[in-house]
Amino acid sequence: MRVVVDLSRCQGYAQCAFLAPDAFRMHGEEALMYSSNPDDAQRHQVLRAAAACPLQAILVDQLEGRDAPVGTSPS
């Protein structure tokens, strides 16, 4: 699954790292490192983390798979 965290909003309170430790980790005292594509098996945890983030800084894909672009190569 696809995840992005708006780190300019994130304040490093680590709720996400507590709820989904495989996808969100603290690096040093307050820097958040996260996986941009956690395993689908973690979906439930990641969604809970996103819901719990007090800054609503975690964005999870709303489509997953739909609307993939149709690329055209240089002809």
Partner 1 sequence: MSTADTLQGFKRDGRVVIVGASLAGLRAAEALRDEGFTGKLTMIGDELGEPYDRPPLSKQVLTGWVPADGTTLPRRRDIDAEWLLGVPADGLDLANNHVRLADGRTVPFDRMLISTGVRARPWPVEAEAALDGVFVVRTREDAAGLQRAVAAGPSRVLIIGAGFTGSEIASVCRERDIPVTVAELAPSPLVGGLGAMIGEIAADMQRAHGVDLRCGVKVTQLEGDAQGRVRRAHFSDGSTVDADVVVVALGGIRNTEWLRDSGLAVGVWGVACDAGCRAFDLNGLVTDDIFVAGDVARSPNPMYEYRFISLEHWANAVEQAEIAAHNMVSTQANRWPHLSIPTFWSIQFGVNIKSVGVPTYADEVVVTQGSVADHRFVAAYGYQGRVTAAVSFNNAKWLDHYRQLIERAAPFPPPCPTPDQPLDAKPVPVDFPGPTLLAQGATVVVTGHDPGERRVTAMRQHR
Q: Minimum CB separation from ligand SF4 for residue 33, in Å? A: 10
Find the radius of gyration of the CA atoms of the chain.
Answer: 14
Residue 1 structure tokens = 């699954």
By C-beta, is 13 or 60 nearer to ligand SF4? 13
Candidate list 3, 16, 17, 53; residue touching partner 1; CB under 8 A: 3
List the Cα angle 26/47/49 in 5-degree steps: 30
41 contacts partner 1 (rule: CB under 8 A): no
State which of positions 20-49 bind ligand SF4 (CB under 6 A).
24, 32
* Cα–Cα distance measured from residue 14 to residue 4, given in angstroms and rounded to the nearest whole number: 15
